[in-house]
Structure 1
């Protein structure tokens, strides 16, 4: 019904571009190319090229292409998919990508290999690689920590806490850890399970009668474990807290969750929801401290059950405390692709949903957590912090995210390389991080970064560690370098689509104020031929972006909020703006 189509073609063409054109011809399409970039060789392919297209926001389509070469033969993949389908079925597209390999190719496996000791020579290679990537991706500051066999073998800072200031990053520098908070939240829940105060399989509404998700039928199906499994079909729906964060409280977060509905069946697809994870933490707080305010109960539970017993003295939800002394500032690109210190307005919006992603921490603190995970709940002094069963239930697969990859309870479990690695990442504005551990090898690592491009360091670091531990094929460096080049090309292509400043007549046609019931008010201010959109939680200058269908979008260009598209959709004399995420559309109406 949505006309979603995908074609995989063993092409006759001798080039990547020719192969992709051949595939599009089968679908009868010639989409307008925005940028094409080469990716590093991988998975048996000797060359790979990725294509992104200039697609009108109103089309609500995900249109892309990939070309892969083995020998002289090219295989092309093209897809023209409804945006909501692409978002909802992202894990299935990922699985297809994993399975697309040349005939006869056998994926490298580290199964049965003994991990090398990460000695001084190997750790120097890790440090050199991190510093090389930090520079390649324009990240001002990075902190990396590694444990092996119960010892911290690396705790090191690279670069600066804040651009323009001299203070270096070190192992105690606090960063926002964003969604890594979720794993700490489920650890708090596991402590309650271990104490007999909570059951993973108990209905959420039975534990906390105020819980609601969509209708009564959906609400009744949700068990405690479902709140953190990304397996209930509740889609990503973040605009409510991103746009209205300054007005949100834990109580309003819970109320808003009650209005959300799953878009796929229980256990059918991986769909990641921040409000669901927030609810898990708040409910845990009520089990631990009945009758407290939702946020206060959660904060007390995390302090008493997680931070204090693990000795995580540098980990906090107190933003005033977090941003004093040794802490990192967030950074991002402006549209000239210059790195800037970004405002915290957008990041502050997660506070009301803090179990999902608001903690600040350091490498040294997070290594204490990772070591406890590796040691199955035993602390360095030999005392037991948590029962093994309650802890490890959090790693049991709940939903597939790819081939030999699953999401558990706010932990991702990946067996695709022949060894098990458990990890989770975190992403907020200017803060991107990851913590990972190889349980059988008793190795763990943490990486914290203070720029949006830092997201690109996580996968290559994980790969580089496996190369050094298991004598793996050298891929990490080539992958990172190709990604950095592709990012530069993609950013340049994006900026070419912008009008900055936006067309004067278009700016003059904007209403002074708009409103959407779910996202609140949007105020427009103008000065010196430029315009700013202020949604309350954040404000950003906007550029124009003419669309292929003749419509016009206004795009936020402030580093903290780069890329939100508001499409002008005036109708019947009323001025309107439309903003969309993967599966939702929000119309802002002019306030008369």
Structure 2
């Protein structure tokens, strides 16, 4: 099958009827193109929303919500939207700015006096804008293990732990993507409004935007029968290899991380959200009434770049995707593509992914959601749609992203082989008896873990992350490999460091896979033994 979307004047003759409304046409071969992309990549389900000239022209589902079940994805099927929901949290803050209760450059400590960063100077200087722009000095994904894959922590407790995370760079000196400071933003909304992030977003953003199926609470998502289930390939040496399988939907993200990526939404609601964005804070509802969610001034603020981000030169067939400039604004990325400015953002929780792209000067918005981790299908379809609406030359984006994904996985497997070769054939003898490695350990920001000696083998328990338990297999010398009972959790090396007396001084960790998701920030942990009382 041809791998590019056909642009045809005859497409205008095609009408799609969604929610009793006739919309303008989309590419005539879109359905076949999407189905081919899903089939070739093993994607169970996909949903697409398109807004053109400020109006929805498509909101449609494809495939199934869950492998092995007959229920189909439709325009109201909700998917977790991951980090695309950061723009929703930013919009909630924009509402507070419009209410006169907040300014973008207000210092956090003035509204939340108990807020602390590791550096007291940064504590005093951190602003609302800083929370949203990944320029805090924290390392990539720092603290994400307080969310991933679930957590028993409250949001406030998560924010309090921030003071123990050492910065990776100086404040405002560079860009490093984080989720933790969006949890702070959610807590800030509660401190100012008196309502939780979940309630405030629902009442002041989702309802005014007409996003009637979207939910902020995980419990509400689980209660909705029309929801997409997460899927992933976990059967190979690195994530992404093996057969597609259904994940435990209750172990994909902790509730405390909701402001960073906990919103669930449908194609119909994503269309409304893009209308609001392209309308600079307002949209026209079914009654023809203009509804304001936030002001045009706040829309401008949210799209204004705050920090430059790397302009990566992508290899091979993805080379045309490389931007000339790239920046991060407030909950949105800003980049160039084919001579136009694109406001976009990707989002993922384990087993589900979303991509949203806006082209303000063309008044176009595209959102694609999938219930798997095969991003190449999602991004390929999205880029071909974007090219279609920009009138760009045909590009086989699905093939380009397939090549990129294949090379990434192959590189990960090769790196594992090189690491094994470097270690040599002999694992080296452990310094201590198995039982001596057991005990209670504590990290300043994560908190306690427990390592038990059970029937001659070691078991590790991340006590504040329900279900994050597994066995420790000896790897080499004083390093063990954590193999979790839940295969969704990335395996990790656990290394014991001994002091001059041969006693355990501290324990460090790192992901086994060189392409593990950055949210498994094992490398930021430093556990020390807890003395017995």
Please tell me the TM-score bracket, short chain as reference: 0.7 to 0.9
1:476-487 aligned at under 5 Å gives the runs 476-486=397-407
Alignment of 1:142-541 (within 5 A): 142-235=46-139, 236-242=141-147, 246-289=151-194, 296-324=195-223, 325-336=225-236, 337-344=242-249, 346-349=251-254, 351-380=255-284, 381-401=289-309, 402=311, 403-453=324-374, 455-469=375-389, 470-486=391-407, 489-490=410-411, 509=434, 511-518=437-444, 519=446, 520-523=448-451, 533-536=460-463, 537=465, 538-539=467-468, 541=470
Q: Which moved more, 1:320-329 or 1:132-141?
A: 132-141
Stretch of structure 1 that moved more, 514-523 or 361-370: 514-523
SS in 2 for 1:474: coil
- The answer (yes or no) to whether the contact 1:579–1:585 under 8 Å persists in 2 is yes
Q: 1:543 to 1:489 in 2, by over 3 A?
A: farther
Q: Deviations over 1:102-141 (max 9, x none)?
A: xxxxxxxxxxxx9999755853444333333323333222
In 2, the alpha carbon distance for the partners of 1:117 and 1:535 equals: 58
Give 1:562 deviation, angstroms: 2.7
Distance 1:522 1:160 in 2: 40
Are 1:180 and 1:425, in contact at CA under 8 Å, matched by a contact in 2? yes
CA distance in 2, matches of 1:480, 1:131: 16
Alignment partner, residue 493 of structure 2: 565
Q: State the partner residue of 1:73.
A: none
Query: Shift in Å at residue 352 of structure 1?
Result: 1.4
Question: Structure 1 CA distance, aligned partners of 2:260 and 2:474?
Answer: 33
Residues 564, 429 of structure 1: CA spacing in aligned structure 2 closer, same or farther, 3 A cutoff? farther
Q: For residues 115 and 223 of structure 1, what CA distance do their matches in structure 2 show?
A: 49
Q: Corresponding residue for 1:554?
A: 481
Query: Are the equivalent residues in 1 in contact too, given 2:91–2:294 (CA < 8 A)?
Result: no
Q: Which runs of 4+ in 1 moved over 4 A?
A: 114-122, 490-498, 505-508, 510-514, 523-527, 529-533, 540-547, 550-553, 568-571, 588-592
CA 1:141/1:589 → structure 2, altered by over 3 Å: closer, same or farther? farther
Q: Deviations 1:490-539 (Å, cap 9, x if unpaired)?
A: 576578789xxxx9x98993745552234321445879x99764324233
**More deviation in 468-477 or 397-406?**
468-477
Greater Cα offset, 203-212 or 397-406: 203-212
TM-score, length-scaled by structure 1: 0.70
- Conserved 8 A contact 1:513-1:591: no
Cα distance per residue 1:547-591 (max 9 Å; x no partner): 7xx774415464421343334556624496521438624236488
Matched residue pairs, number? 465
- Cα distance change, pair 282–488 in 1 and its aligned pair in 2 (3 A): closer
Deviation string 1:371-426 (CA, Å, 9 cap, x unpaired) is 11011122212243322011220111000113411100111111243111111121
CA distance in structure 2 between the partners assigned to 1:488 and 1:141 by the alignment:
22
Question: 2-side partners of 1:386 and 1:306: how far apart?
Answer: 9
Counterpart residue number, 1:584: 524
CA positional deviation for 1:232 = 2.4
- Residues in 1 aligned to 2:487 and 2:8: alpha-carbon distance in whole angstroms: 41
- Any idea what SS the aligned residue of 1:456 has? helix
Question: What is the alpha-carbon distance in structure 2 between the residues aligned to residue 493 and residue 543 of structure 1?
Answer: 24
- Checking the alignment, whether the CA contact within 8 Å between 1:285 and 1:300 is kept in structure 2 is no
1:451-489: CA deviation from partner (whole Å, max 9, x where unpaired):
223x33343233212322222351402213313433564
CA RMSD, Structure 1 to Structure 2 (Å): 3.5
Which residue is 2:4 aligned to? none
Contact kept? 1:133, 1:480, Cα under 8 Å: no
Corresponding position of 2:424: none
Please say if residues 512 and 524 of structure 1, whose CA atoms lie closer than 8 Å, have aligned partners that are also in contact.
Answer: yes
TM-score, scaled relative to structure 2: 0.77
